[in-house]
Amino acid sequence: MAILSPLATEVFIPVAAVIGIVFAVVQWVLVSRVKLSPTAAAASGGGKNGYGDYLIEEEEGLNDHNVVVKCAEIQNAISEGATSFLFTEYQYVGIFMSIFAVVIFLFLGSVEGFSTKSQPCTYSKDKYCKPALFTALFSTVSFLLGAITSLVSGFLGMKIATYANARTTLEARKGVGKAFITAFRSGAVMGFLLASSGLVVLYITINVFKLYYGDDWEGLFESITGYGLGGSSMALFGRVGGGIYTKAADVGADLVGKVERNIPEDDPRNPAVIADNVGDNVGDIAGMGSDLFGSYAESSCAALVVASISSFGIDHDFTGMCYPLLVSSVGIIVCLITTLFATDFFEVKAVKEIEPALKKQLIISTALMTVGIAVISWLALPAKFTIYNFGTQKDVSNWGLFFCVAIGLWAGLIIGFVTEYYTSNAYSPVQDVADSCRTGAATNVIFGLALGYKSVIIPIFAIAVSIYVSFSIAAMYGIAVAALGMLSTIATGLAIDAYGPISDNAGGIAEMAGMSHRIRERTDALDAAGNTTAAIGKGFAIGSAALVSLALFGAFVSRAGVTVVDVLSPKVFIGLIVGAMLPYWFSAMTMKSVGSAALKMVEEVRRQFNTIPGLMEGTAKPDYATCVKISTDASIKEMIPPGALVMLTPLIVGTLFGVETLSGVLAGALVSGVQVLPSLLPTPVVHGTMPRSTLRLVPASMQGPLAPRDLTATRLL
């Protein structure tokens, strides 16, 4: 028996989630102390965050209170644009999700002819489980709950980011350390809200469903899987829609503004500059939040499903059953302590300290989480138990499961830092790409593509080792908890990821408000560090999505009664080929969408520069709203076909060709998608090595719609 009692488990999980939410609120309150009004800003007192410090404008005799007003106006324009886009997107997605919820109910309910009678359990034939009709109903409800939670996570992340961007700009007047703390605390608000809300909603859903299912844990946790599907479905649309929006605006703004008109990035004369900054929030913040929530929900649900047909479910061991949720709970506490290292225990005082401070967050959280996993494995798991393994029960020890979670955690860190090695200008791969520019665009493309392909090698080996070790120890459950291990520090990972776009927006606001070049240098330093560490966060997303997809694939073949996926079978082989093609089809659709939207954006920006008198001289204002509308309309229109491709493919293939072919399709898509994403992460490197060339826009158009959308699509498949 486990040391931790069921009562202690029931208390610890929601308390950890509440602590995370309270911590997020506290960080938000601290950020809100930076006021967006001249009088309030001037009246700020002293303290650790630098209120009352000398401003750069005061040093240079340029203290203009109108700057604060301009920052507030620009922030409001960005916030309104992002909010308008998300509300429009959610209306369309809401209709699609409602239709898909009906499809889910009809497919699941028809398994037993919409019977309301109890049926023999799938894995325990001597027991009776709840009717398939009610499992279909509860699965549909959990699907909608997952979708709504994903939507709220993305929306809150966007609102927090647009709330903090101008405040980060104003704090940069006092020093780079003050701006760093503001941006990072804002990212932490998003990270802890998402991690905590995802955990508490899942926990409450389980306990509410339990009132109906009682001792039928097989049916209970099968219905819970809809939660993960809902989260991933919304993540797909958030990633695709947001990616099309941000890259269309990015390409339009840079191609005409920087390349043709030779004006600085984020220059207020550029008609697409507001759309570009809005895109950072709807793509890199809202989309990313939904995506990581989807990965977290899927890994938790996959682990719970396997556990329900293992000794935890058979013996009704509630504490052991909730082991995935306990790992996530410990992760929230660990990330809270880790965040204090960046905001309270140590203070960033120079530009060179920014990137190390962010990297230390990942290292400290991983080290502390390893200890936390060991403790919770010892407390929550019996010394010996069994895990379902394709028709048999595999003997596993609590320390074996600890190694599964730990190897996922450390593999994620390895993948993250390898990704950083291939994307940071501090190391030779990026320097080689930059050096290749000396001989023209062609060699730059060649070196960039080679770098992308080469960057796949170590991450794939790390994922392969994680899969082999975790499967050898605890079968598919081991793979699911390894994925959860990678995502156990999701609050810290999200804080670092969100920090980047917030800093990017802060730099744009500084440029548009006409602030000192020294302030722009500080915000650029913040943004540069955020871009590098964001690649580390994407590394975690790669590994976790791959492991989650494999765990879900294992759950599918187990539930469908597929004992062997024989690649020599024609049905399976054609499925493999078609499945491997799907990520490329998906990529082609999203890239074409970005290209079409960018074309319209470029034409509009050119039109305004050519027809609005005084625009280049700065005496006339551009029409920002038209550019925002172009990106909004294009992304809304173009996001549905890729989403439909991913969500309808399994239904069509399974219905027309059977589970064998579908198994091949899923396996092919998984293997292909895992290769595609790491190769695209270094594309920002090429993007940044040629700031005055149209070539820099090629990788931008690729990375926006594809990375990490491909694995979001693969996981959803």
- pLDDT tens digits, one per residue of 162-175: 999 999 999 998 88
Between 365 and 316, residue with greater pLDDT: 365
| pLDDT for res 122 | 67
Which of 209-213, 521-525, 626-630 is predicted least confidently? 521-525
Q: Which two tokens stand for residue 114?
A: 């919409």
> Residue 277 and residue 505: Cα distance in Å, rounded?
6
Contact 282/205 with Cβ under 8 angstroms? no
In a domain, 46, yes or no: no
> Residue 162 and residue 141: Cα distance in Å, rounded?
32
Model confidence band, residue 127 (pLDDT cutoffs 50, 70, 90): confident
Please check the confidence at residue 656 and state whether its pLDDT lies above 60: yes
Q: What is the mean pLDDT of residues 676-689?
A: 59
In a domain, 704, yes or no: no
| pLDDT for res 222 | 87
Model confidence band, residue 715 (pLDDT cutoffs 50, 70, 90): low
Q: Which two tokens stand for residue 556?
A: 């599918």
> Residue 433 and residue 391: Cα distance in Å, rounded?
51
E runs forming strands in 337-456: 384-389, 392-397
| pLDDT for res 324 | 93
Please check the confidence at residue 402 and state whether its pLDDT lies above 80: yes
Please check the confidence at residue 43 and state whether its pLDDT lies above 60: no
| pLDDT for res 544 | 80
In a domain, 393, yes or no: yes
Q: What is the mean pLDDT of residues 453-463?
A: 90
Model confidence band, residue 703 (pLDDT cutoffs 50, 70, 90): very low
Q: How far is CA 157 from CA 152, 281, 635, 679, in A?
A: 8, 8, 19, 28
Q: How far is CA 194 from CA 147, 317, 502, in A?
A: 13, 28, 17
In a domain, 263, yes or no: yes
Q: What is the mean pLDDT of residues 539-556?
A: 81
Query: Using CA of residue 281, residue 75, residue 697, residue 537, what is the dihedral sign?
Result: negative
Domain assignment of residue 162, given as a range: 12-30+64-690
In a domain, 81, yes or no: yes
| pLDDT for res 287 | 82
Please check the confidence at residue 214 and state whether its pLDDT lies above 50: yes
The 8-class DSSP code of residue 388 comes to E
**Nearest-CA neighbor of 201 among 239, 174, 228?**
228
For 125, phi then psi, to 5°, come to -65, -20
In a domain, 292, yes or no: yes
Helix, coil or strand: residue 272: coil
- Number of structural domains (the chain) is 1
Which of 3-17, 402-416, 544-558, 695-709 is predicted least confidently? 695-709
> Residue 305 and residue 301: Cα distance in Å, rounded?
6
Q: What is the mean pLDDT of residues 675-682?
A: 74
Model confidence band, residue 521 (pLDDT cutoffs 50, 70, 90): confident
Please check the confidence at residue 245 and state whether its pLDDT lies above 70: yes
Q: At what angle do helices 132-171 and 176-213 cross, to 10 degrees?
A: 170
| pLDDT for res 64 | 59
In a domain, 164, yes or no: yes
| % of the chain surpassing 90 pLDDT | 37
| pLDDT for res 188 | 93
Between 540 and 456, residue with greater pLDDT: 456
Contact 699/687 with Cβ under 8 angstroms? yes
- By DSSP bridging, strand 128-129 and strand 392-397 are unpaired
Helices (H), 489-620: 490-512, 517-559, 570-611
In a domain, 40, yes or no: no
Residues near 372 by beta carbon (within 8 Å), at least 6 away in sequence: 330, 331, 333, 334
| pLDDT for res 125 | 64
Q: What is the mean pLDDT of residues 64-93?
A: 88
